[in-house]
Structure formats: structure tokens, C-alpha cells
Structure 1
């Protein structure tokens, strides 16, 4: 029996997928660029009065400050996103992310501004955090809510590709800058180049986002006049159980993503006395490999369910965490890169379906707010991870084993939370291919809602 062709999506939905992917790419470009640069040079540029280890700890702490601002953005943009729609807020979130990133590239260091330099750096990270807080849910939901239900796993994985693609861009630029300059030149001024080049990506992403239309799910919600006046209150009153379990399920990604990035890079440089390029290469290789892998896992999410696919990915991280640190501890470059690569690929396997998994837990009227709360309050945990993990390394005099066991424990906790979430198929998702939606008077081809026009 021939396999039916997959449902096609409207041109407006394709533009939404592209705009969401670009926003996600910029988000993770900023994330990777700041984390890597903070681990490499911010201790000397903004905290030169401290020892190398303490300076690195303070530099990584600035990363945590941005994470603490993200729930503010998540709550604010989530509220208006559930009330006024997804598309109207995505340009604002892009500006709040992009402009501070560019300005950091112009910010003088401690030698010029004194104590004002790290203070301004912290303020810029706060602005970035607020913008990032509203970006993830808006971009992911704009895509997921605009495509057929049977393909939401696949298309939902496309904005997630912004993680490795942004990582490739940021790591590639940093690696190129370190190769083409001496250590002194890189520390003095070359590190600023990737931050300044981010302005190009920002402008292009903004141009694409000006052409967005509203998602099908929200258009359908607005037609039913079912928009919530206080989405946060509704989430806390009616959906607190899936909210708490989702927070626990996402903890693994928040923790491991920050350990395998800036913490591992700082560990390699400070305690293993290896080149900083090892951590960067260990970021780029899995980022390239995981691009087709994540799309395939998105298809598996459509076939087996996003929750089940997510759980497989989380459990794979529990299996590979200790081996990664063991391979790092060998000090052999090939084994070190292999350990980082395998663990990052396992992390990508759960991340591929994460947005689809989270969107299935909440109805449309509170979905932006709820997903933002899950992601951004989880981001606080992620922001705390670099300084806490690095402090564990300092306390153990560079021994990674307690940190490795802590990572395994966190991952197993997330797996338990994901397993405890009962499967829930949202009853209010718009689907242009679902005959039930057609039977309720919705268009069979989805063109009207995909284009954001009202249906009488």
C-alpha cells in the first residue's frame, strides 16, 4: 500500500517556520557566543583583579544574571502573547536580544571604565535575558500552531535546529578569531568581532519577521472569543500539575547544556591546561552531526509521540554523562572531543522534540505563558549551573567526578518527571488536515487560518 504524501503547509506557515528558525538561531548564537567568550577572556577583560579561577567564576556568574531576567520576559511576553497573539511580540523580543549583543562588542573593559565595565555588562545581560525570555515560546509556538498535527513533531524540530546552527556560527567565529590572532590580540580586541557581526544576523531576522502572520491555533481561539484575561492565574490555578512536572522534565536540558558548554570549556583550559579550541571543536562537531539527527527525531516524535521520544533522549544523557568526564580526564584530544560529541548528541535527541512535547501539555489560551514559564524558570536553574558547577570543581581541586554524579542525578530526576506526565492530546489545536476540524466548520485546507484571516 503506497504511503500517502505528507500534508503540505501554506506559504504563510513556511514563512513562520523560517522566521522561528532564524530567531532560535540568533538566540543560541548569543547564548553560545557569550558563554564561550566569558569562559575564555571575560575574566581578564572585566575581572582582572581576581585570580584566574575566581575571575572565571565571576565571568560565568554574569551568564547567570541574564538567566534570572528571563522569567520576567517569559511572564510579560507570555501574558501579551496569549492575549494578543504570537506574531506581534516576536520583533520586540528579537530587538531586546540583538541590540545588547551588538553593544557588548563595543563595551570597554575594566582597564578603561573600571568597576563600571562589569556593571554595564550585567545590565546588558539583563536586557538580553528579558528578550530571550519571550523568544523561545513565541517562536516555537508560532511554528507548531501553524502546521498540521501529524507533522508538528517534524516542524517543531526546525526551530530547535537553531541551537546547533547558532552554536556552529558562534563557535566557528570564535575558533576562527583564535586561529587568526595571537592570544594577546584575541584578549585585547579580536573577541569583539563575533559580537559586532551579530548585527548582520539581527537585521536579516527582523526583515523576515515583519512578514509574519498569526498562527492557526491562536486565530481559532480568537474566533471563539476564548482569549484568557489573566493567563498566569489560569496556569497556576488549573494547570499547576503539568507545569511542575514539565519544569522537572526540562531540568536535565537546562543543567547539562550549561555544563557541557562554558563549564567544560573552562575546565579544559584551567585544570587540564589544554587549548581552548578543544572545547570549541567539541561544540562544533556534534552541532553539525545533529542537524539531520534532530529532523529525524522530529519525525520519530510524530510516529511514537513527542513525550516518548523526549524521554529516550533524557535517559541517553544519564548513560553518557560519566563516560564524557572520563574521556575528558584522559587529556587525549581525540578522546576528549569524542566524549563531548557523544554527550551533546544525546542532549540534542531530547531537545529536538522539546517544544512539541511542551506544547502538548497546555491548551492554546495559556500555552504561550505556560511554555514560557517552564522554559524560563528552568533557565534560572541553567543560569545557576555554570557558577555552581565550577565552584564544585574548585572545591574538588579540579576533580570532575562529583560534578559528573550530580549531572547523572539531575538527568534521572528529569526522566522521572517526564515519565510521570500522562499523555495528553490537546483538544483545541487547529489542524488543516483533521476531518474533525472540518466537521466543526473549519476549513479543510487550512489556508484561511494559516494566513491569519478571520473565518465567519
Structure 2
């Protein structure tokens, strides 16, 4: 059997799916644990101020640092992924994210070492962002390049399940710790346990990834001696439209996700007088639903036009804030849960097919670089500034409707990205003979 006819062992296919899901779940556990802590704890612990709004904005500033670091991760690890392979790079990103998160759990607060605490927190947050920037593109390719190209939406969704699974796990751990401890014990140090647990998750993720070979598609690229020498330059020069499309289609989902999993926690406590625990539970339930909805929408996008399905989700995202905020105005916990679940279901309708939509814009030999750059650069204009912009808008106008306008504008941006994108080319020259055994 020639390399061009190499078959995929079903066991390896399952391992690839598990490796993709578990790795991104771990890295988004790290990211989500920080996001929740930034919204509820870190303002007082690392950025003390007499004004709660200033403290929150300072904490969200380091949240943005995690997004701003992602392009560096996409640039460095994306390039390496197309040159040395998907598997090796994914081991490096997993280690970097896990170590950074573990160290956050050991970090002294402002009360102990003053402003140095904030500086160290920003550095570790930056390292988290670099790791996530290199993780996503490789995780998507790990599962999708093992799977049938005609079912790319489903197989690529393995990496998309990671964020809600990680968010669910992080919120669950933090909620459990908060429930088992007094408020004073939790804020004084109990929260650290959630970050220290990342060491266990890293070991599990490494165990899965180290047992797996590189993807059949990358092996064929190596056999044909088609590995790029300057993948970043090639993507920017030869596949610029694909890169722009990949960036823009991510903007609305990123802002939608930030609104309903990060900023809403602050909004309901400061504007509606609801508890932090109620917001956390609502996000957990919505994330649990997403774990099922991500692969479902990914599979659906294999049956109907992927771009059209994505467009429907984008339109729904633009409309939902104008329904959600009046719904929760009465402070009902049950209504908050329903509204959050619907919001995250809308997000899943875009995020589930997103991995396949972005990766299929690029040729196989440039996929890691192109996908990683699109993913990370989108975060800079979408997810990174979103909590800061939302906090500033509320402080300026003190009315929820401005948040709906902001999200609607990002939906227009994503619509432009969909217009620039192309429908999938399922049978590429490299992939056409890579089929399950």
C-alpha cells in the first residue's frame, strides 16, 4: 500500500477525536477559570480599587491580554504545525497552558507583594493566550484530518466541544468550591484549587496525545515533500481572501460568547442584584447543552450548506440580546437560565460548524498556519476587547440596549466574512485517498 492509499484505523480515529476534545477542554478550562475569576474575584485580589467598576475593568484587561497573545501563538505554533507536524505542536501547547494555569494557582495577591502580583498575573495570562493560540488549529486538524472529509463538520467539531466542556468544568469546580467554603475562605485562597487542578488534566491530555501518530494528511504532505518553508508568507500572499474570511466569521460568535459567559456575570450582580452563583449555574447549564449541540450542528453542516447554517446563527445572535435583557430584567433565576441556554444554543449553531468552515478555506499544506492565524487574529478584534467595551458602554449609557447594538454590528462583520468565504472542496488532492479502514 502506498502512502497515497494509507487507510485510517478506526481506533486511531477515535483516539484523535478524544485527543482533540480533551486538549481543547483542558486549555479552555484554564481560560474559563480565569474568565470567571476575572469577573468575580481578581478585581479585588490583584487590582484593588475603591471603585468596583475600575477593579473589574482592570481584571478584564488581563482577560484581553490572553486574547492579544493568541496571534503570537498562532504565528509560532501554526507555522511549526505545518512544518514539523500537528502532534508535536499540540504537546507543546498543552504543556504551556497547563504550567501557566498551575502557576496562577500559586500566585501571591496584591496584599502580599503589591503591584508585582498584577504584573505576574499578566505574564501568566499571556502564556495562556499563546498556548490557546497554537492549540485550536492543531486540535481541529487532528480530528478532521483523521476523519472522512465528507463529514468534516462533525469530526472538526471535536475541538469545538472543548470550550463548553472546559467552561462547564471550570464553572463547576469554582461553584463547588464556593459552595463548600465560606465566602471568606473561598476569596482568600480556596479559588486556587481550581487552577492547581490543571496539573492533573495536563497529565491526562498528554497520555492521550503521546499515544497518537500524526495525521494521515500531514504524513502524505511529508511523503510528497510538500511541506512549506515559509507558511505565514504563503498564507498572507496566496490565500489572503481565505484568511480575511476566516477572521471575520469568528467575530460575532466571539462577542456573543463573551457577552453571555463573562460579562453577564458582572451585569446581573451589579445591575440586577442577583448572586454570582445564579449566573454561574446558568452558564453551566448552557454549556452542558452546548456539549451536545456542537457536534449536532457540526454534523448538520455536513448535510446542508455550511455557510447558510452559519448565517442563520449570525442573524439569531443579532436579535437575541433584544429579547434576553428585557426577559431577565425582573431578576428571575429560571428566566436567566432559559435566556442563557438559548444564547449558547445560538452560539453553538455557529461554533459547531466553524472549525470545518475555517479550515476548508485553506489548502492542506497551509491549514495549520492559516486556521491558527484566522482564529487568533479574530480574537483581537472580537473576543479580546468585548468585555472592556461592554463594561464601558454600560458605564456610559447605563442601558442594556447598547450591548445589543454592539453585537448586531459584529453580526454584520461576520456576514461579510461569510460572503467572502467559499463552500468546501471536499475531495482535495491530498485527502482524497485517506479513508477509514
Q: Which TM-score tier does this pair reach, normalised by the shorter chain?
A: over 0.9
Matched, 1:409 2:409: yes
Name the residue aligned to 1:392: 393
What secondary structure does 1:16 align onto? helix
Name the residue aligned to 1:196: 196
Gaps of 5+ in 2: 1-6
Matched, 1:41 2:41: yes
CA distance in 2, matches of 1:60, 1:273: 21
Contact 1:66 1:127 in 2 (8 A): yes
Structure 1 segment 11-410 matched on structure 2, within 5 A? 11-381=11-381, 382-397=383-398, 399-410=399-410
The total of aligned residue pairs comes to 430
Deviation per residue, 1:393-447 (Å, 9 max, x gap)? 11123x211111111221232123213423241653654xx5xx3xxxxx7x555
What secondary structure does 1:353 align onto? helix
Name the residue aligned to 1:451: none
CA distance in 2, matches of 1:276, 1:330: 16
CA distance in 1, matches of 2:364, 2:436: 17
CA distance in 2, matches of 1:118, 1:422: 44
Q: Kindly tell me: are residues 429 and 36 of structure 1, through their superposed partners in 2, closer, same or farther at Cα, counting changes over 3 Å?
A: farther
Contact 1:21 1:161 in 2 (8 A): yes
Deviation per residue, 1:293-342 (Å, 9 max, x gap)? 22222221111143333223222212312212222323222222221221
Contact 2:101 2:198 in 1 (8 A): yes
CA distance in 1, matches of 2:411, 2:32: 22
What secondary structure does 1:227 align onto? coil
Deviation per residue, 1:62-118 (Å, 9 max, x gap)? 111111111001000111111111111111100111111011111110000101000
Contact 2:31 2:128 in 1 (8 A): no
- Higher mean alpha-carbon deviation, 411-420 vs 274-283, is at 411-420
CA distance in 2, matches of 1:359, 1:140: 8
Following superposition, the deviation at residue 8 of structure 1 comes to 8.3
CA distance in 1, matches of 2:23, 2:40: 26
Deviation per residue, 1:117-149 (Å, 9 max, x gap)? 000000101111111110000111111111111
What secondary structure does 2:206 align onto? helix
What secondary structure does 1:383 align onto? coil
Following superposition, the deviation at residue 227 of structure 1 comes to 1.2
CA distance in 1, matches of 2:298, 2:68: 30
What secondary structure does 2:331 align onto? coil
Q: Could you tell me the TM-score, scaled by structure 2's length? A: 0.94
Gaps of 5+ in 1: 1-6, 438-442, 448-456
Q: Could you tell me the TM-score, scaled by structure 1's length? A: 0.90
CA distance in 2, matches of 1:292, 1:189: 34
